Structure 1
Amino acid sequence: MAERHTQKTDRDLNGMSFPEFLEHIKQGKTSLIGDKKLIECPLVVYTRICPTCGSVFKKGKWQSRQDESDVIIECVKDNLIINKQAQDIELEITPKQLDYSRYAVHVKAKANIEGVQTEAALDTEVRISWETCDTCSRISGGYFEGIVQIRADKRLPTQEELDRCREIAKDVAARSREKGERLAFIAKIVELDEGIDIYVGQSKLGKQICRAITDAFGGRFSESPKLVGQKNGEDLYRITFAFRLPEFVRGDIVSVDDTVIEVQSCGKHVSGIDLETGRRFIENFNDLMDVKKLGRRQDAVPAVLVAEEDKIIQVLDPETYETVTVKRPEFLSAEPGDEIKIIKTVKGIYVLR
């Protein structure tokens, strides 16, 4: 019995016989400090990962997606006990996947203990519990806190506008999630004849999306809260954000006070070409007092340039065959006899580029 006890004690020296332990000390290496090991870890440790989005449950809450190997390594680090006397610690953690839910992990450690170089190694197993996270659970259950309704003033939005609004909404949601807002998700996007409805997991995400679309296109939005219940004694609301894209888009011919322009872009600023002078026009959209749509570039028709003199030209009206005198815009480079594009409006005839 005594002999067996001695052998067990020898092998308690971190898996080494006593002679081997003495040799390690001579070489300045040991894995024991007093009666404590350099590193310790349970034989099996556990982590929770969402199978849908890859989020990880740590420190009592779900956190953003990580690479699975990184999750395994961090799980081992979180459960690793390192001797408090150790300094200049170097860890080498090598995971090896065994199956869908298990990893074998080998850990090597080096440290300095009062000038003595110390080494140790151990093996552990990480088991993954696949659980649906709070966000994915809400998405699958159709949860949403707000609806962003994208429409346009006095017209239907173009497909290009709607596609861009989708991109903006997804970008805003992605940036919010990167900052830790786990409920900043888009539950669904519904296409309608008059526009699209974007269902969002957070009401404040709806407002952020509206502001981002305003920066890109201009327009305006309003909020309409609706009481849908109570939780922990507090009222719960769903908010509908009614967003209206500007009435005017690229190619529209509009009058701004006494100026007729062809719109090139309409957002926070309206920019375009003054069709009378040919000069560039740009103004803050909110500063414009009287804006009326006169037509579209698609309404333009071909006409013959009859004559030119200084800043005046004459064109042949293709409908009445009468000669009409208009101002020559700076962009016009045609000569008498050439065909040019004109548009007829209630304010008169204008030449297009």
Structure 2
Amino acid sequence: MTGIFCPKCGRDVDILYGKVCRQCFIGGKKLLECPAVIHLRICPTCGSVFKRGKWSSGEDEVETILDSVKDNLKINRDATDLELTLTPNKLDYSRYKVHIEAKARIEGVEIDASQDTEIRISWETCDVCSRIAGGYFEGIIQIRADKRFPAQEEQKECIMIAEDVAARAQERGDRLAFIAKTAELREGIDIYVGLIKLGRQICRAIIDRFGGRFTESPKLVGQKDGEDLYRITFALRLPEFVGGDIINVDDTVIEVHSSGKYVSGIDLDTGKRFIEKYDSLANVKKLGRMQDAVSAVLVADEKRIIQVLDPDTYETVTVKRPEFLSAKPGDEIKIIKTAKGIYVLP
């Protein structure tokens, strides 16, 4: 006999915990509490979850179930070294049973507990999916190009940019920042957006990549709670020129490599690199495309000037020698004939 007894149950024990034996100490402590039934509202289309009075983007269905259990689970505030295991079991289309096991220490005493809870799902269409299904949109982005039709590659990249901007906006919590639909037309693309500010964000992102400009045209479409509702048309115009174009900028002939916030390329007179802000360019005229290049024979190289044989007239033409030229007389080189004369291409 140890001489120590529990004042609550009278057992002889080796040690007391909080002035009682281990069994009495544990019996007075509740490690976890969880409702027997948890009700959950999930959108069947996108998996969003309704909680705390609003719809929030959801994850995998099982992860959503486990998160709902954790949200409703109460753990003893004195518990330390907690080990929690949740085991879900799908009962049918709208019900899960989750087995909860927990181990922890309270004032140094190991305690474990287990419980089952049932998750009952109510499948409801969320606010975003409801608007998409109803054809709701606040703005249309009309993507066109000056004096040409946007290339297929440009159209695909514009759509990718729009989708990326919308995805990042939703990650920041703008659930209505969705793309309702995209219409690909011969003259360009129309992108329907769920938020006006998303339309502006997409326009700015596309202009950062390709250059260009956009304007806004509001149209009154109704009223809600005494406030006017507007639908905005964003008219976005891509630049007339793109990579591979030959342009004349303030009397300088440039082969364009890339066009966006900045236009970069090569000065075909000197062979030097060219880079300028798109917005600062003035008196720009398109002279041709790299695809218009033809082969010609280099007749003579006189350091600052060269002579080439015009493949159409077979006349010798004198042009400035660009820095990038490495060919020797007798070699074939690529040239382009423009309204400003003949230019050698890299």
Please give the TM-score of this superposition, normalised by the length of structure 2. Answer: 0.90
Give the drift of 1:33.
Answer: 2.0
Map of 1:254-273 to 2, 5 A cutoff? 254-273=247-266
SS of the equivalent of 1:307 reads: strand
SS of the equivalent of 1:173 reads: helix
The counterpart of 1:32, out of the listed 21, 27, 36, is 27
Q: 1:186-209: per-residue Cα shift (whole Å, max 9, x none)?
A: 010001110000000111000000
Q: 1:233-269: per-residue Cα shift (whole Å, max 9, x none)?
A: 1111111111010111111111111211111111111
Residue 280 (structure 1) aligned with residue 273 (structure 2): yes
What is the rounded CA distance, in whole Å, between the counterparts of 1:32 and 1:263 in structure 2? 80
Mapped contact 2:263–2:277 kept (Cα < 8 A):
yes
Residue matched to 1:54: 47
What is the rounded CA distance, in whole Å, between the counterparts of 1:334 and 1:115 in structure 2? 85
Give the drift of 1:79.
Answer: 2.6
Residue matched to 2:3: none
- Corresponding letter in the other structure for 2:256: V
Residue matched to 2:235: 242
Residue 303 (structure 1) aligned with residue 293 (structure 2): no
Residue 187 (structure 1) aligned with residue 180 (structure 2): yes
Mapped contact 1:29–1:119 kept (Cα < 8 A):
no
Residue matched to 1:95: 88
Q: 1:85-124: per-residue Cα shift (whole Å, max 9, x none)?
A: x332623222222222111111123344444433222111
Q: 1:124-156: per-residue Cα shift (whole Å, max 9, x none)?
A: 111111111111111111110101110001111
Work out the number of aligned pairs and report it.
332
SS of the equivalent of 2:317 reads: strand
SS of the equivalent of 2:153 reads: helix
Give the drift of 1:74.
Answer: 2.1
Q: 1:11-55: per-residue Cα shift (whole Å, max 9, x none)?
A: xxxxxxx99xx9x98556865327xx4333332211111111111
Give the drift of 1:210.
Answer: 0.4
What is the rounded CA distance, in whole Å, between the counterparts of 1:338 and 1:121 in structure 2? 86
SS of the equivalent of 1:176 reads: helix
Residue 328 (structure 1) aligned with residue 321 (structure 2): yes
Give the drift of 1:231.
Answer: 0.7
Residue matched to 1:200: 193
Give the drift of 1:321.
Answer: 1.8
Residue 106 (structure 1) aligned with residue 105 (structure 2): no
Percent identity over paired residues:
70
- Corresponding letter in the other structure for 1:300: A
30 and 69 in structure 1: CA distance in 2 versus 1, 3 angstrom threshold: farther
Mapped contact 1:50–1:56 kept (Cα < 8 A):
yes
| Cα RMSD after superposing both structures | 2.3
Mapped contact 1:31–1:38 kept (Cα < 8 A):
no
Give the drift of 1:285.
Answer: 1.4
SS of the equivalent of 1:321 reads: coil
Please give the TM-score of this superposition, normalised by the length of structure 1. Answer: 0.88
